[in-house]
Amino acid sequence: AIAPPQSKNKDEVKIISETVQLFEQMTYDFTLMAALEDRLFFRMKFNRARYSEGSIRRLENQWKQLLKEISNDATIPITHLSI
């Protein structure tokens, strides 16, 4: 889950890990799920035979960077976002 920063530092993005029960069987090699309840959270599921841990970590870091940029300025054009 992504929570608003507790401090006044706009560069801070707090990621909160939660356990989420899913009842849908995923059959894709890579799935990014997002859900909104009392907060927004994301979950990545991937086929370890097709994706290395390093590749998924890089993707996770890029995703966090994008979310950080969007949370700092939601009006920024997508072409100005960097990964």
pLDDT digits (tens, 9 = 90+) for 27-63: 789 998 888 878 888 888 899 999 999 999 999 899 8
Contact partners, residue 42, CB within 8 Å, separation at least 6: 1, 2, 32, 33, 34, 63
pTM recorded for the entire structure: 0.59
Phi-psi region of 31 (alpha: psi -120 to 50; beta: other; left: phi over 0): beta
Share of the chain above pLDDT 70, in %: 67
CA–CA separation, 11 vs 49, rounded Å?
35
In this model, does residue 67 exceed pLDDT 80? Answer: yes
| CB of 41 closer than 8 Å to CB of 35 | yes
